[in-house]
Amino acid sequence: MISAARIAEVPYLVVNHNETLTPPMAPNATSMPTEPDFVISSSVYASYVAYVVLVLIFGLSQNLLTLYVFYSDRRLHSMHNYFIVGLSLADIGMCVFGNWMIIASSFSQHWVFGRTGCVFYGFATTWFGISQISLLAAISIDRYVIIVKPRGIVMTKQKAFKLVMCCFGNGFVWALMPAIGWNSYSLEGIGVRCAINWRSHVTSDITYYMAILICGWICPLSLILFSYRNIFITLQCKRTRILEQSKLKGRTNRQRNDRKMAITVLCMICAFFISWTPYAIVTLCSAFGYFRKLPVVVTVLPALFAKSSIIWNPTIYVARNTLFRRALFQRVPFLHNLHRTLST
């Protein structure tokens, strides 16, 4: 039984606490564990559903609209926008293959899709999550090549498309491993979602989540930091040189556009990491055996907050990219009228 001190931490949340951890979803398992880590009240389940539904509606509509605008306006068919399209597809994948299962399970207050559904949900969310961070790293490298090494690698539409496919392929491989036996997918949190089994102490499972932590989080983050450090150093140096040669006005405009695009991508990267870092920290604590020492709210809310990441990319792109915003307003006059109303 949970101690009185533990209940006092979040009296509005916890009804009962199961001290036995949910067993992992082994590939050869025939039954589905139904005991969540925390049993919570019906009102909290209702709030959980409301939040996920809002994220699903806003995330799906925004990203579908983003794809529609990119597809319908040929001015946006640049090789660099292939990466933005890839991010939107990953966001849509998160919505279509994940959120509805959480909503259905939350209404029943337990996971209703069995072992196969748990593996499917865990696979889909891991696939698209790793693909997203891989795409953000690829965008950073693309910006690095354009700004820092303009005479180096020449990026073409074919190369951009192949790089996007490689990002999705990377996510697919990492998501497939737990489904075929290297680690596993299991229930987590309040028992309405599944994820990689971060709390296993089996050696092979530990090697998996250490590998995915390094290759799926630390390495992409390091590439992003390296790229943007050099991007802003280069932009600052070029800006100083161009200001000393006022006749090169065209280059000044180009530098301004490069800087604006670099900041736009940086905002998208920051939004992603702000959304996912709390969950990454919680899973890391679970991996090192500190899960039981965390307050209950800290173990539940980060996964919810991470789901908001699907909203930020289209929002930031509309706010920062003038050409995309104009194309959007041309195709959806209602949004243009709403924008003018809010601006006055």
The mean pLDDT value for 240-261 works out to 61
pLDDT for 166: 95
Q: pLDDT digit string (tens) for 4-38?
A: 333 333 333 333 333 333 444 444 444 554 455 55
pLDDT for 117: 92
**What is the band of 168 on the pLDDT scale with cuts at 50, 70, 90?**
very high
pLDDT for 5: 39
Residue 53 pLDDT greater than 50, yes or no: yes
Region for residue 289 given its phi and psi (left: phi exceeds 0; alpha: psi -120 to 50; beta: otherwise)? left
The mean pLDDT value for 228-255 works out to 67
User: Could you give the CA distance from residue 223 to residue 218 in angstroms, rounded to a whole number?
Assistant: 9
pLDDT for 192: 85
Q: Which residue has the higher pLDDT, 253 or 111?
A: 111
Q: Which residue has the higher pLDDT, 76 or 339?
A: 76
In order of start, what are the domains of the chain with their CATH numbers? 4-324 (1.20.1070.10)
At residue 156's C-alpha, the angle toward residues 151 and 157, to 5°, is 160
SS3 of 143, please? Answer: helix
pLDDT for 157: 82
**What is the band of 242 on the pLDDT scale with cuts at 50, 70, 90?**
low
pLDDT for 219: 92
Q: pLDDT digit string (tens) for 116-149?
A: 999 999 999 999 999 999 999 999 888 888 888 7
Q: How many CB atoms sit inside 10 A of residue 64's CB?
A: 15
The mean pLDDT value for 213-241 works out to 84
pLDDT for 40: 67
pLDDT for 125: 92
The DSSP 8-state label assigned to residue 10 in this structure reads: S
The strand pairing partners of 322, in sequence order, are none
Tokens of 175: 């998501």
Q: Which residue has the higher pLDDT, 38 or 315?
A: 315
pLDDT for 6: 36
User: Could you give the CA distance from residue 312 to residue 328 in angstroms, rounded to a whole number?
Assistant: 16
pLDDT for 37: 54
User: Could you give the CA distance from residue 206 to residue 211 in angstroms, rounded to a whole number?
Assistant: 8
Tokens of 336: 């243009």
**What is the band of 240 on the pLDDT scale with cuts at 50, 70, 90?**
low
Cβ-contact 49, 107 below 8 angstroms:
yes
Residue 41 pLDDT greater than 90, yes or no: no
pLDDT for 245: 55
Burial 124-155 (b: 16+ CB within 10 A, else e): bbbbbbbbbbbbbbbbbbbbbbbbbeeeeeeb
Identify which of 27-41, 185-199, 244-258 has the greatest average pLDDT: 185-199
| HEC sequence for 148-214 | CCCCCCCCCHHHHHHHHHHHHHHHHHHHHHHHHCCCCEEEECCCCEEEECCCCCCHHHHHHHHHHHH
Q: Which residue has the higher pLDDT, 1 or 264?
A: 264
SS3 of 246, please? Answer: coil
User: Could you give the CA distance from residue 143 to residue 324 in angstroms, rounded to a whole number?
Assistant: 18
Cβ-contact 56, 234 below 8 angstroms:
no
The DSSP 8-state label assigned to residue 103 in this structure reads: H
Q: What are phi and psi of 22, to 5 degrees?
A: -65, 130
Share of the chain above pLDDT 90, in %: 21
Q: Which residue has the higher pLDDT, 83 or 284?
A: 83
Residue 316 pLDDT greater than 80, yes or no: yes
User: Could you give the CA distance from residue 139 to residue 268 in angstroms, rounded to a whole number?
Assistant: 10
The mean pLDDT value for 207-235 works out to 89
pTM above 0.85, yes or no: no
Q: pLDDT digit string (tens) for 57-66?
A: 999 999 999 9
Tokens of 133: 């961070």
Helix or strand holding residue 191 (H, E): none
User: Could you give the CA distance from residue 134 to residue 128 in angstroms, rounded to a whole number?
Assistant: 10
Residue 287 pLDDT greater than 80, yes or no: no
Residue 303 pLDDT greater than 70, yes or no: yes
Across all residues in the chain, what is the average pLDDT? 79
